C-alpha cells in the first residue's frame, strides 16, 4: 500500500498537466520553493542534471572556438540606456538596486537580465584591431527577470544559463556564427537530451530586443504546447554604433564590429520533464541522468546480497554513474522511487539471482525486464543505455510528427487550434497585422519560420493575400 501511495501522489498528466508537472518537480526533489516568489532552490537531484547539461554543452562550445569569461552582476542605468530598442524590450522585467548599505546610490544599478551592454562596454576597450577579431566569449551565470507568472524551471525570476557574446569583422561572419550556434544547440538537444527541435528564424515581432535577426529551436511538450529551447541573435553593427566599438581594419580604416549573442537556460530541465516524463515521474535520457544505473538488492539482509550489489556497482562504476539503494525501505518502494527519479536502468539482485549467476535489468522508459548473466552485465548495461537514448529520441520525434498539422486556409487553421494540441504549419503574408490578429483571436504565436520551408498553400492563413513564408504556429510556455 505504501509503495502505491508514493505514485498516487503524482497527479495524472491526463487529468491536470500543470499539476502533474509541479508534482514531478517536487516529488523527484528537483527544487524547493523559497520565500521569494519565482526564486527556487535547485536541490542536488536537479542541480546534478544541470551540471551534466552544462558540462556537455560547454564541451561543444569549446569545440567551436568558444572561450569562457565572467562579467559583473550589475549594470549601471546609463549603460543599459545606450541601446534604445534593447532597454525598451527589457524595461518591464528589470530589477533595480537603489541603495548600497544605508546610502542611496548616485545611479541605479540593474541586476543583469542579460549582458549585451556589459559585453559592449568590455569590447569597446578590448578590441582595437582586426587582429583582435573575432571575439567568441561565453559566460555561465544567473540572470534576473521580474516575471509576473512563474513556474519552476520554465519561467523563474532568477535562473541559470549561459550567454554567448561574440564580435566579428563582418556581418557575414556574425551571421555565420549565429547559425552555427543554433545548430550546436539543436544537435545538443537531439543527441544529448533526446528532444527533437524545429530550427528557424523568428519573425520581427518575436525577435530579441535590439537584434537584426533572432533564430530559435522550438520543441513540443507532451501536452502539445511549444517551448523555446534556445535562441541565437544576429545584432549587425547596431550595438557597436551605440557603444562605439570600432577596430582598425587592414586598410587602416575604422570600422564597426558586428555582434551576436545566444543562450540556453535551466528551462531545459523543464523540457526534459515535459517531453519524456510519465505518470510515474521523471524519465531521463542516460546522457543527462545523474544516476544511470540503480542497483536494488532484494532481501538485502540475507547473507551476500548487499555484497553482490556493491560488487555490481564497483564493476559498472568504471563506465557509468551508479548507485546502490541500500536503504531500509521495501523493494517495492525502492522500485517506485527509482521510477519517479527517472533512473534509466534498475538492476534487481536477490538470493535466487545470485544462486543462478544472474540479475534482472529493468528499463525505465519501457519497463521492459531482461534477465542478464552477471558476467555480461557491463556490456548489457552499455547496450541498453544506448538503446534508451536513441529510442527516447525516436518516440519524441514520433510525438512531434503526430502533433504537427497543416492548415491551407483560415478555416482549417482555426479549426485545428480549436480541436487539436500541437503545432500548425501555415502560410503567412509577412504582415505584422496578421500575426497580431492571430495571437489576439487564438492565443497562438508564431514559433519560428523553419529553415525547411514547405509550400502549404499560396495564401496567408489570416488575410488570404499572397504568402511569403511558412510558419510554425503554436501555443507556448
pLDDT in tens, 4-59: 555 568 999 999 999 999 999 999 999 999 999 999 999 999 999 999 999 999 99
Share of the chain above pLDDT 70, in %: 98
- Spatial separation of the C-alpha atoms in residues 221 and 267, rounded to whole Å: 12
The predicted pLDDT at position 89 comes to 75
61 grid coordinates: 562550445
- pTM assigned to the model: 0.95
Note the helical H segments in 203-288. Answer: 238-243, 267-276
Q: Could you tell me whether strands 135-144 and 158-168 are parallel, antiparallel, or unpaired per DSSP bridges?
A: antiparallel
The pLDDT of residue 85 is above 80:
no
The pLDDT of residue 86 is above 80:
no
The predicted pLDDT at position 81 comes to 86
- Spatial separation of the C-alpha atoms in residues 195 and 179, rounded to whole Å: 19
Q: Would you tell me which CATH number, out of the four given (1.10.274.10, 3.30.110.30, 3.40.50.1820, 3.40.640.10), belongs to the domain 404-474?
A: 3.30.110.30
Question: What is the edge-to-edge ordering of all strands in the sheet holding 322-324?
Answer: 322-324, 293-297, 345-349, 358-363, 369-373
Please give the average per-residue pLDDT across 213-228, as a whole number.
Answer: 97
- Cα Rg of the chain (Å, integer): 25
Find cell 501536452 and name the residue.
Answer: 223
Q: From residue 437, give the alpha-carbon distance in Å to each of 204, 321, 422.
A: 15, 51, 19
Q: Give the distance, in angstroms, between the CA of residue 373 and the centroid of all CA atoms in the same chain.
A: 38
Please give the average per-residue pLDDT across 227-254, as a whole number.
Answer: 97
Q: Comparing 2-276 with 293-384, is the CATH topology the same?
A: no
The predicted pLDDT at position 460 comes to 97
Q: From residue 156, give the alpha-carbon distance in Å to each of 34, 139, 153, 217.
A: 12, 19, 6, 20
Q: What is the largest CA-CA distance in the chain?
A: 82
Q: For residue 368, what pLDDT band results from cuts at 50, 70 and 90? A: very high
The predicted pLDDT at position 82 comes to 83
Q: For residue 334, what pLDDT band results from cuts at 50, 70 and 90? A: very high
The pLDDT of residue 1 is above 50:
no
CATH topology of domain 293-384: Rossmann fold (3.40.50)
pLDDT in tens, 156-183: 999 999 999 999 999 999 999 999 999 9
Q: Could you tell me whether strands 404-407 and 423-428 are parallel, antiparallel, or unpaired per DSSP bridges?
A: parallel
Provide the mean pLDDT of the chain: 95
The predicted pLDDT at position 5 comes to 54
- Exposure string of 316-344, with b = 16+ CB inside 10 Å and e = fewer, is beeebbbbbbbeebebebbbbbbbbbbbb
The pLDDT of residue 2 is above 50:
no
Dihedral through CA 351, CA 353, CA 357, CA 363, nearest 10? -140
The pLDDT of residue 137 is above 80:
yes
In this structure, is the dihedral angle defined by the CA atoms of residues 219, 8, 384 and 311, taken in order, positive or negative?
positive
The DSSP result for 316-340, as a single string, is HTTTS-EEE--SSS-HHHHHHHHHH
pLDDT in tens, 56-75: 999 999 999 999 999 999 99
Q: Output DSSP code: residue 342.
A: T
* Domain spans of the chain, in order of start: 2-276, 293-384, 404-474
The predicted pLDDT at position 6 comes to 55
The DSSP result for 350-399, as a single string, is -HHHHHHTEEEEEETTT--EEEEEGGGHHHHHHHHHHHHHHHHHHHHHHH
pLDDT in tens, 245-264: 999 999 999 999 999 999 99
- Spatial separation of the C-alpha atoms in residues 116 and 260, rounded to whole Å: 9
65 grid coordinates: 572556438
Please give the average per-residue pLDDT across 95-113, as a whole number.
Answer: 96
The answer as to CATH 3.40.50.1980 being correct for domain 2-276 is no
Please give the average per-residue pLDDT across 133-137, as a whole number.
Answer: 98
Integer distance in angstroms from the first to the last C-alpha of the chain?
36
Contact yes or no for 82/121 (Cβ under 8 A): no
- Spatial separation of the C-alpha atoms in residues 229 and 447, rounded to whole Å: 11
Amino acid at each position: 500500500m505504501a509503495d502505491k501511495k508514493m505514485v498516487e501522489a503524482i497527479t495524472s498528466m491526463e487529468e491536470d498537466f500543470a499539476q502533474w508537472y509541479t508534482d514531478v518537480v517536487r516529488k523527484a526533489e528537483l527544487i524547493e520553493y523559497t520565500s521569494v516568489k519565482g526564486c527556487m532552490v535547485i536541490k542536488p537531484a536537479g542541480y546534478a542534471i544541470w551540471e551534466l547539461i552544462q558540462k556537455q554543452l560547454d564541451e561543444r562550445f569549446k569545440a567551436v572556438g568558444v572561450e569562457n569569461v565572467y562579467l559583473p552582476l550589475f549594470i549601471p542605468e546609463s549603460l543599459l540606456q545606450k541601446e534604445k530598442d534593447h532597454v525598451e524590450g527589457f524595461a518591464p522585467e528589470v530589477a533595480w538596486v537603489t541603495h548600497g548599505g544605508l546610502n542611496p546610490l548616485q545611479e541605479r544599478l540593474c541586476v543583469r537580465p542579460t549582458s549585451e551592454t556589459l559585453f559592449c562596454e568590455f569590447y569597446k576597450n578590448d578590441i582595437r584591431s582586426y587582429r583582435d577579431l573575432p571575439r567568441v566569449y561565453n559566460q555561465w551565470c544567473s540572470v534576473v527577470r521580474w516575471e509576473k507568472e512563474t513556474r519552476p524551471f520554465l519561467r523563474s525570476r532568477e535562473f541559470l544559463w549561459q550567454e554567448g557574446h561574440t564580435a566579428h569583422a563582418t556581418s557575414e561572419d556574425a551571421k555565420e556564427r549565429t547559425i552555427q550556434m543554433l545548430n550546436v544547440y539543436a544537435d545538443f538537444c537531439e543527441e544529448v537530451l533526446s528532444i527533437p527541435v524545429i530550427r528557424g528564424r523568428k519573425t520581427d515581432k518575436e525577435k530579441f530586443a535590439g537584434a537584426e535577426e533572432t533564430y530559435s529551436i522550438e520543441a513540443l511538450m507532451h501536452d502539445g504546447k511549444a517551448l523555446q529551447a534556445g535562441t541565437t541573435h544576429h545584432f549587425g553593427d547596431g550595438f557597436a554604433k551605440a557603444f562605439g566599438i570600432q577596430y582598425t581594419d587592414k586598410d587602416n580604416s575604422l570600422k564597426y564590429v558586428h555582434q551576436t549573442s545566444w543562450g540556453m537556460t535551466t528551462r531545459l530541465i523543464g523540457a526534459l520533464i515535459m517531453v519524456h516524463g510519465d505518470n510515474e515521474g521523471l524519465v531521463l535520457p542516460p546522457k543527462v541522468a545523474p544516476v544511470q544505473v540503480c542497483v536494488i538488492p532484494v532481501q538485502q539482509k540475507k547473507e551476500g546480497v548487499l555484497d553482490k550489489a556493491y560488487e555490481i556497482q564497483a564493476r559498472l562504476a568504471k563506465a557509468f554513474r551508479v548507485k546502490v539503494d541500500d536503504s531500509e525501505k521495501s523493494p517495492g518502494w525502492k522500485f517506485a522511487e527509482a521510477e519517479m527519479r527517472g533512473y534509466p536502468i534498475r538492476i534487481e539482485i536477490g538470493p535466487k539471482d545470485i544462486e543462478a549467476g544472474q540479475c534482472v535489468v529493468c528499463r525505465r522508459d519501457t519497463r521492459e525486464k531482461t534477465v542478464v548473466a552477471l558476467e555480461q552485465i557491463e556490456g548489457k548495461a552499455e547496450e541498453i543505455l544506448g538503446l534508451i537514448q536513441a529510442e527516447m529520441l525516436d518516440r519524441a520525434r514520433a510525438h512531434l510528427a503526430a502533433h504537427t498539422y497543416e492548415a491551407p486556409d483560415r478555416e482549417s487553421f482555426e479549426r485545428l487550434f480549436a480541436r487539436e494540441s500541437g503545432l500548425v504549419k501555415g502560410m503567412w503574408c509577412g504582415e505584422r497585422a496578421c500575426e497580431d490578429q492571430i495571437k489576439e483571436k487564438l492565443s497562438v504565436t508564431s514559433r519560428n519560420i523553419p529553415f525547411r520551408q514547405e509550400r502549404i498553400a499560396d495564401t496567408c492563413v489570416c488575410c488570404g493575400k499572397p504568402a511569403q513564408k511558412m510558419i510554425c504556429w503554436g501555443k507556448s510556455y
